[in-house]
């Protein structure tokens, strides 16, 4: 969801600290902000973070829910994966939940 359509939106880091892509990939900052604002679930989107098992593992380790599969164990099961495999997995509707 675009931040302007969200009920709440938070800046990642301080102004100028990250490029837009850098902010998107700042997993530790995202988790920190989620905990500060009592968020209980993180949707990592459909790009780099959704394919990052370490991010998913850190979200769960912080006591939060990763709301979009694949789960860390699913990501690790397919490493090393090619981008084509990940595209195929994303189109599959039967991810474990």
pLDDT in tens, 1-42: 466 777 888 888 888 999 988 888 899 999 999 999 998 888
Residue-level pLDDT at 35: 94
Residue-level pLDDT at 36: 93
Residue-level pLDDT at 70: 54
pLDDT band at 93 (very low <50, low <70, confident <90, very high): very low
Q: Kindly report the backbone phi and psi dihedral angles of residue 66, in degrees, each rounded to the nearest multiple of 5, phi listed first.
A: -90, 115
3-state secondary structure the chain: CCHHHCCCCCCCCCCCCCCHHHHHCCHHHHHHHHHHCCCCEECCCCCCHHHCHHHHHHHHHCCCEECCCCCHHHHHHCCCCCHHHHHHHHHCCCCCC
pLDDT band at 74 (very low <50, low <70, confident <90, very high): low
Domain ranges of the chain: 3-91
Q: Is residue 96 a contact partner of residue 74, using CB atoms and an 8 Å limit?
A: yes
Does the domain at 3-91 match CATH 3.40.50.2030? Answer given as no
List own/partner pairs for 6-12 with CB under 8 A and 24 or more apart: 8/37, 10/37
pTM score > 0.75 for this model?
no
pLDDT in tens, 46-70: 777 877 888 888 999 999 988 765 5
């Amino acid at each position: 969801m675009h931040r302007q359509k969200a009920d709440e939106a938070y800046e990642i880091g301080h102004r100028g600290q990250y490029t837009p892509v850098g902010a998107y990939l700042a997993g530790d900052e995202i988790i920190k902000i989620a905990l500060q604002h009592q968020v209980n679930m993180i949707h990592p989107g459909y790009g780099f973070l959704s394919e990052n098992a370490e991010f998913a593992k850190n979200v769960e380790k912080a006591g939060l829910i990763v709301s979009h599969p694949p789960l860390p164990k699913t990501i690790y099961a397919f490493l090393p994966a090619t981008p084509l495999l990940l595209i195929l997995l994303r189109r599959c509707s039967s991810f474990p939940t």
